[in-house]
C-alpha cells in the first residue's frame, strides 16, 4: 500500500493529533508515528465491512468476512482497526525507544541497508588485486594481509591470476569466501603502495591507478508477525460497574493494550540480550570474559567502600558502550537496560544523575521505564526481571540504515469487538502485527550484555 502524500505533509497532519492524544513531543518518535498513522488510516479506508443486502430476516450470529471486500461477507458487525488504540500501544511501548522504527505499509516488505566493499565488490579484474575474507589460509601466491576484527577470518589479497569465471574460481579456491566490507574491517595497505600501508611518493601516486571502493546495496525480505490476545466481560459486569463510574469495556481494552505493550517490550529486550551475548562471545575467548565480579563488603580493603564497588558497575556500562563503538564502528552505545537492584545502586552512587527523559508517555505498571541518564547513556529499568537478576544490556540505537535491530510496525493494534450470541456479553480481541528485523551483516556488534557477579547474596549491601 503506497503512501499517497509526502513525508512533510504526513508529519504536519498527524503530529498535532499524536501530541494531543498521547502527550508525545519527541521529534524522532513523532516522525515515525506520523508515518505509521498515515499507513494505518489508509489500511482502514481500504477495508470497509458492509451488511449483506439480502440479510433482512436478522443479523444472526456474529461472524467476520473470510477476506476483505470478498464475496464471503460477514454479519455486518463493525470490526474496526482502532487508530487511537494503536497510538496508545505505540506511545506506551518503551522498547521502541531502544531500536529504530521503520513503519511498513503492508504485511510484507523489504528493508535495505548500505555497505562499502573493497575493490568495489569486483571479483573479475586480473590487473588489480582483489581482497576477500575467508576462514581458509592463503593459497598459492595469494597473501594474507590481516584478520577480520569482527569474526577473526583471514583477509587475503588475491595475487594469482583469475579465470574469466572468477567468482567460481574464488569459490573453488576458498570455501565460504566473501567480500571485505569497509565499515566492518580495514585493510591497512589498500590506500598505500604495499601491505604495510606505506604511502606513495609523488611519482608513484601520479603513475598508479586508484584502487576502488564500491557502494553495495543489500535487501532483506520482511513479513509481519503477530501478537494477539482477547478478553470478555459479562453483561452483569458491564451493568454493575457503571454504578461505580467504571467502564468495563474501556478497562478491558486498557488491560489488553498493556498486555501487547509488555509482549512487544520483552520481545525486543530478548533479542537485544541474545545479540549482546553473541557479540561478547565473538569478541572474547569466553562469553563470561566481559562480566565483572564485585567483592563482598567484608573483603573490601583500604579506602574501598560498598559505594566504590558499586561505581565499578557504571565503569563497566561505559566500557560496554565503548566496546560497541570499537566493534561496530558506528558509534558508542547510548542506552542500557538493568534490573531493579542494579538500578538501585546506580541511583545511589555519586556521579549518577537521574533526570527525566525527553518524553511524557505513560509508564504502565509492568513495562520497562526510563530511569535517567549518565555520560550520554540513557538507563532503563526492566521491572519484569527478578530482584536478583544482575545482568546489564547495553546497546546503540541507530537510524535504521546500519546494523542492529529495526522495529517495523504494520498494525500496532487492531481491535475487534463482538457480542457473544449465547450470553450477549461483549468480547474484545486485540492484535498487533509487526516485524523485528536483524538488519545488517553483523547486527550483534551494536549490543553488549554482561553480568555483575560476586560471592554476596545481596548486591545493594554486598553481603
Over residues 339-360, the pLDDT tens digits come to 999 999 988 876 666 655 444 4
Q: The sheet that has 369-374: what strands, in order across it?
A: 292-294, 447-454, 391-395, 335-338, 377-381, 369-374
Q: Is residue 139 a contact partner of residue 436, using CB atoms and an 8 Å limit? A: no
Instruction: Give helix 83-92 / helix 27-45 axis angle, nearest 10°.
Output: 150
CA–CA dist 425, 231 (Å, integer): 11
pLDDT for 269? 93
pTM for the complete prediction?
0.74
CA–CA dist 112, 174 (Å, integer): 28
Helix ranges restricted to H, 334-414: 340-348
CA–CA dist 178, 148 (Å, integer): 12
Please state, in angstroms and as integers, the Cα–Cα distance from residue 462 to each residue in 28, 277, 385, 454, following that order: 40, 25, 20, 8
Say if strands 391-395 and 447-454 run parallel, antiparallel, or are unpaired. Answer: antiparallel
Q: Extract the residue ranges of the chain whose pLDDT is less than 50.
A: 1-4, 48-60, 62-82, 123, 126-128, 163-165, 357-362
pLDDT for 206? 87
pLDDT for 208? 86
CA–CA dist 271, 274 (Å, integer): 5
Residue 244, burial from CB neighbour count under 10 angstroms (0-12, 13-18, 19+) = exposed
Residue from 234, 255, 229, 228 nearest 419 by CA: 234
CA–CA dist 231, 2 (Å, integer): 34
pLDDT for 355? 56
Residue-range domain boundaries for the chain: 1-46+80-107+226-463, 114-219
pLDDT in tens, 159-205: 776 544 455 566 667 877 888 888 788 888 888 888 888 898 999 88
Domain 1-46+80-107+226-463, CATH: 3.90.1690
CA–CA dist 323, 276 (Å, integer): 11
Residue 75 has, within 13 A of its CA and on its CB side, a CA count of 15
454: left (phi over 0), alpha (psi -120 to 50) or beta: left
Q: What is the DSSP string of 305-338?
A: -HHHHHHHHHHHHHHHHHHHHHHHSS----EEEE
CA angle 78, 79, 85 (to 5 degrees): 120
- Phi/psi at 209 (5° precision): -70, 145
Amino acid at each position: 500500500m503506497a503512501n499517497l502524500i509526502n513525508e512533510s505533509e504526513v508529519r504536519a497532519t498527524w503530529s498535532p493529533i499524536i501530541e494531543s492524544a498521547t502527550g508525545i513531543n519527541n521529534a524522532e518518535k513523532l516522525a515515525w508515528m506520523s508515518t505509521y498513522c498515515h499507513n494505518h488510516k489508509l489500511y482502514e479506508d481500504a477495508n470497509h465491512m458492509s451488511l449483506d443486502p439480502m440479510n433482512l430476516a436478522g443479523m444472526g450470529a456474529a461472524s467476520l468476512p473470510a477476506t476483505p471486500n470478498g464475496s464471503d461477507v460477514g454479519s455486518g458487525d463493525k470490526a474496526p482497526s482502532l487508530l487511537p488504540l494503536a497510538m496508545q500501544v505505540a506511545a506506551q511501548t518503551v522498547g521502541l525507544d531502544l531500536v529504530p522504527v521503520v513503519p511498513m505499509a503492508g504485511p510484507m516488505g523489504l528493508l535495505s541497508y548500505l555497505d562499502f566493499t573493497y575493490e568495489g565488490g569486483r571479483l573479475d579484474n586480473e590487473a588489480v588485486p582483489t581482497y576477500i575474507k575467508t576462514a581458509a589460509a592463503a593459497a598459492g601466491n595469494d597473501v594474507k594481509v590481516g584478520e577480520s576484527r569482527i569474526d577473526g577470518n583471514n583477509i587475503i589479497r588475491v595475487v594469482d591470476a583469475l579465470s574469466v569465471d572468477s567468482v567460481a574460481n574464488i569459490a573453488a579456491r576458498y570455501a565460504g569466501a566473501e567480500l571485505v566490507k569497509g565499515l566492518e574491517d580495514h585493510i591497512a595497505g589498500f590506500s598505500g603502495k604495499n601491505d604495510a600501508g606505506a604511502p606513495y611518493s609523488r611519482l608513484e601516486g601520479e603513475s598508479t591507478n586508484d584502487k576502488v571502493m564500491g557502494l553495495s546495496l543489500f535487501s532483506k525480505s520482511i513479513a509481519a508477525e503477530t501478537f494477539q490476545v482477547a478478553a470478555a466481560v459479562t453483561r452483569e459486569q458491564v451493568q454493575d460497574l457503571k454504578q461505580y463510574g467504571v467502564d468495563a469495556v474501556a478497562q478491558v481494552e486498557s488491560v489488553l493494550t498493556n498486555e501487547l505493550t509488555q509482549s512487544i517490550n520483552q520481545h525486543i529486550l530478548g533479542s537485544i540480550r541474545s545479540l549482546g551475548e553473541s557479540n561478547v562471545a565473538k569478541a572474547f575467548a569466553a562469553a563470561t570474559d566481559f562480566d565483572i565480579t564485585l567483592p563482598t563488603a567484608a573483603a573490601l580493603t583500604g579506602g574501598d567502600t560498598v559505594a566504590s564497588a558499586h561505581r565499578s558497575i557504571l565503569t563497566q556500562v561505559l566500557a560496554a558502550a565503548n566496546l560497541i563503538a570499537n566493534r561496530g564502528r558506528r558509534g558508542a552505545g547510548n542506552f542500557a537496560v538493568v534490573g531493579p537492584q542494579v538500578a538501585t545502586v546506580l541511583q545511589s552512587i555519586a556521579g549518577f544523575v537521574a533526570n527525566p527523559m525527553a518524553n511524557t508517555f505513560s509508564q504502565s505498571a509492568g513495562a520497562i521505564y526510563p530511569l535517567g541518564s549518565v555520560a550520554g547513556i540513557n538507563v532503563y529499568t526492566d521491572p519484569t526481571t527478578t530482584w536478583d537478576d544482575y545482568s546489564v544490556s547495553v546497546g546503540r540505537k541507530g537510524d535504521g540504515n546500519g546494523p542492529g535491530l529495526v522495529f517495523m510496525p504494520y498494525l500496532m493494534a487492531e481491535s475487534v469487538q463482538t457480542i457473544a450470541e449465547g450470553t450477549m456479553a461483549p468480547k474484545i480481541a486485540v492484535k498487533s502485527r509487526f516485524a523485528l528485523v536483524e538488519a545488517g551483516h553483523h547486527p550483534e556488534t551494536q549490543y553488549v550484555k554482561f553480568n555483575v557477579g560476586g560471592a554476596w547474596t545481596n548486591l545493594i549491601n554486598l553481603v
